[in-house]
Amino acid sequence: MMKDVSIGRYVQGDSVLHKLDPRMKVILFILYMCALFMANTPIAMIAAFAVILFLALLSKISPIEILRSVRPIVFIMMFIFVINVLTIRSGDTLWSWGVLKVTSGGLERAVMLAFRLLLLILATSLLLSLTTTPLKLADALESLGSPLKVFKVPVNEMAMTISIALRFIPTLAEETDKIMKAQSSRGAEYDTGNVFQRAKGYVTVLVPLFVSAFKRAEELAVAMDARCYQGGVGKTKLHPLRLKPSDYLWMLVLTAVAFIPLAVDFLWNLK
């Protein structure tokens, strides 16, 4: 169901990842993402998966809640896998039928890319979604991007936009679920017929969803205008971000952990 979408959904907790400064989590995510895309061997991907398991243990979040974040990208993972299997033709031929051919190199590449996307989504959920509120994430991005203010970049407005977008993803997902149930009670069908019939059925969901989204956006704009919102001008924070000694300590530990896949990849290539 759409209401199970976990993107932008914060899970209350008191784990190490929950307490870690959000700026540190953003930096850690960037470092892990760089290490993940630079690693190119299967053993490095296994090490990257071990890092995700370590982060999951630190977060103390239910595995079911974590795996929910993968559901929206299952189709994308399958699409990437199939495209790479059928287009990359290096190595030995494993199967062929007419113009279609599956090779060992293509299969390995497809598995690597799909698995890399899976790990990236899991890291995003553990560091930036499930353990960090949208408000704290916006404050972290605003703080990290503050040097760009010298170049007249609207950092405050960009951070607020990201915060609002993350905040409304679960809301719109829940609204979609309600609309689908209401339309199903009126006879609408979404799981029967061919592709075109299903697409036609989803039109009855998209139209009221867009109307509801624009209405919410208008109400939010009026509320912000009524409170004299002017971006970062004269803005104060109820809970300003302050780094603690434990943040520096855990950042050093987690940074070392994040670079494990790259270290494993380097040592493997030396052989």
What 3 state SS string does the chain have?
CHHHCCCCCCCCCCCHHHHCCHHHHHHHHHHHHHHHHHCCCHHHHHHHHHHHHHHHHHHCCCHHHHHHHHHHHHHHHHHHHHHHHHHCCCCCEEEEECCEEEEHHHHHHHHHHHHHHHHHHHHHHHHHHCCCCHHHHHHHHHHHCHHHHHHCCCHHHHHHHHHHHHHHHHHHHHHHHHHHHHHHHCCCCCCCCCHHHHHHHHHHHHHHHHHHHHHHHHHHHHHHHHCCCCCCCCCCCCCCCCCCHHHHHHHHHHHHHHCHHHHHHHHHHHC
Q: Which of 58, 258, 50, 230 is nearest to 157 (CA)?
A: 230
- What is the pTM (predicted TM-score) of this model? 0.78
d(CA 142, CA 214): 26
For 260, half-sphere exposure in the C-beta direction (CA atoms, 13 angstrom radius) is: 16
Q: Where do the structural domains in the chain lie, given as residue ranges?
A: 2-270
Lowest-confidence range among 13-27, 171-185, 248-262?
Answer: 171-185
Q: What are 162-207's pLDDT values in tens digits?
A: 778 777 877 887 888 888 888 878 777 766 666 666 777 777 888 8
Between 57 and 180, the more confident residue is 57
Q: Does 3 have pLDDT greater than 60?
A: no
Q: What is the mean pLDDT of residues 52-63?
A: 91
